[in-house]
Amino acid sequence: MKTISLKNPVSFKDLKVKHSIEKYTFVNGCIGYNDEVYFLFSEHVPERIRGMFVDTQSNTRYMAVHGIVDWTNEEMVYDECLDFGIHEMNYHFIQPVGENILLLGARSRQQKSGMYEKNACIVNRQGEILQIFCLSDGIEDCIVTKDGRIITSYFDEGVFGDAPFGNKGLVVWDCMGHRIWENEKYGIMDCEAINVDEQENLWFYYYTDYNLVRTDFKKDIVYHPGIEGMTKFLITKGKQLLCDGGYNNHGQFHKIDIMYDRLDTMENVNLEYDGNFLLLKDAVFRSSKAIFRDNRERIYFKDIIYV
């Protein structure tokens, strides 16, 4: 059993109070290409249609807390609040794109005209719309690279639905919303987890094969982690995977050694703070960096060199 020790937690509640967004709902967090962190909040999250279907319209104000992290000392050294104003779409993801911000909705409905709703919006830090376009329906996750490429993965409704571009399960776009790459090799029915490594190679894990693939978009390496239903993973600088335990075991993490073209030993990993094991509510990964949020609404920052 391995243990990862965390330190310098930030109270999520205190962060919201500091920026006067106590009544806002947390929507999404990310670690950007610049190693800075972003937390998206909505003034009003619409109720699900018939209790099941995500509404694409919200017509509400979005705010974000942008933070600069000292990853060596595992602490947030600066934070500010960004007011994006009122937007029509129901957004689920935030990512920096250069000096601007991508707000992205997971769903896009077909309109009477036959066109699909534009669920991707690039805004400046004041919320002014610079670009707006459609990245298809059923988006599972999103990563933006240093050079502005937008990587979107899709769950089953995006793969098997009528929307035009999610059927391959994984697509790369430019910052104008043009497709520049899509999966052609793998029968992805649900792309359940994605990440990029320090060289910005794309790693993705998919159903039904439960394979993990590393690609530089020219050559692939396929790994077999032996976990069904994994939803999160990172790649340590020591070239290991830290991943969740899959179906019914997302709260347990595992360390798996990467031996170039194969995976080696798996070992359980616990997270602790101040000598106590943590119960996690959520985690956000990018490359080797992680944001952990525990069941007491504390957030921790960690660059995982080696487990």
Could you report the per-residue pLDDT of 49-89, keeping only the tens digit for each?
555 556 788 889 999 999 999 999 999 999 999 999 999 99
Count Cβ atoms below 10 Å from residue 151 Cβ, excluding itself: 21
pTM as predicted: 0.96
Which pLDDT value is given to residue 225? 97
Determine contact, residues 104/38, Cβ cutoff 8 Å. no
Which pLDDT value is given to residue 58? 85
Q: 179 - beta bridge partners?
A: 173
Q: 61 - beta bridge partners?
A: 86
Could you report the per-residue pLDDT of 17-57, keeping only the tens digit for each?
999 999 999 999 999 999 999 999 999 887 665 555 567 88
Nearest to 145 by CA among 198, 70, 182, 78: 198
Determine contact, residues 223/213, Cβ cutoff 8 Å. yes
Could you report the per-residue pLDDT of 170-217, keeping only the tens digit for each?
999 999 999 999 999 999 999 999 999 999 999 999 999 999 999 999
Which pLDDT value is given to residue 142? 98
Q: d(Cα 281, Cα 299) in Å, to the nearest integer? A: 10
